[in-house]
Amino acid sequence: MSRDAAGEGRASLFEAPATQAPAHVVLATIDGAARGNPGPAAYGVVFEDARGNVKEQLARRLGKATNNVAEYRALLAALTHARQRGWKALKVRTDSELLARQIEGAYKVKSPDLKPLHEEARGLIAVFDYFRIESVPRKFTRAADKLANAALDGKMGKQKLTTGKRARTFRAVYQDGVLKPLESLGLPDGAEVEIALRIKG
């Protein structure tokens, strides 16, 4: 979607012909999970560059919500974070056909719980020069699903996760042959990191 496709007064965000994604597009794979529907809910978001390299990840526990609300919260988190980062082109992948079709304008939003979330999403989408959303099979959203479930299990809480090549500074103490961070890093299991040491005197 070009920015023109989200102009005011249009019934659909996707009335303009699809344009080719720019080279600097960021891919956000999102997923929302609710155990009980409604029940304890969370979302996960994985950001990748155009080459498929993971840039950053987000995960957050939401409290009690439906699965559809969790999916919308995942989208809003992706849009808000991308805007804060200054990314102008965003492509979103979700395994929720309902979410994708409602954002496209193909499905009406009837749920009173989803209407304000939908309107908020529309407002955020309008600031991007390029935006697209697509519904994909669940196998393509497994990484985001894993983050959402880890948040539900209390492994990540409400922290924002950053991975990939982005630098991060944290304090740690070296004790008994082990470097122990003085704060929770919120990294997923198996994450590989590079550490540059600066010893404080």
Quick one: pLDDT at residue 154? 83
Q: For the chain, what are the domain ranges?
A: 3-165
Quick one: pLDDT at residue 123? 96
3-state DSSP of the chain: CEHHHHCCCCCCCCCCCCCCCCCCCEEEEEEEEECCCCEEEEEEEEEECCCCCEEEEEEEEEEEECHHHHHHHHHHHHHHHHHHHCCCEEEEEECCHHHHHHHHCCCCCCCCCCHHHHHHHHHHHCCCCEEEEEECCHHHHHHHHHHHHHHHCCCCCCCEEECCCCCCCCCEEEECCEEEECCCCCCCCCCCCCCCCCCCC
Quick one: pLDDT at residue 173? 80
Positions in the chain short of pLDDT 50: 1-17, 157-159, 163-166, 189-190
Quick one: pLDDT at residue 4? 37
State the fold for domain 3-165: Nucleotidyltransferase; domain 5 (3.30.420)
Q: What digits encode the pLDDT tens for the residues 9-20?
A: 333 444 444 568
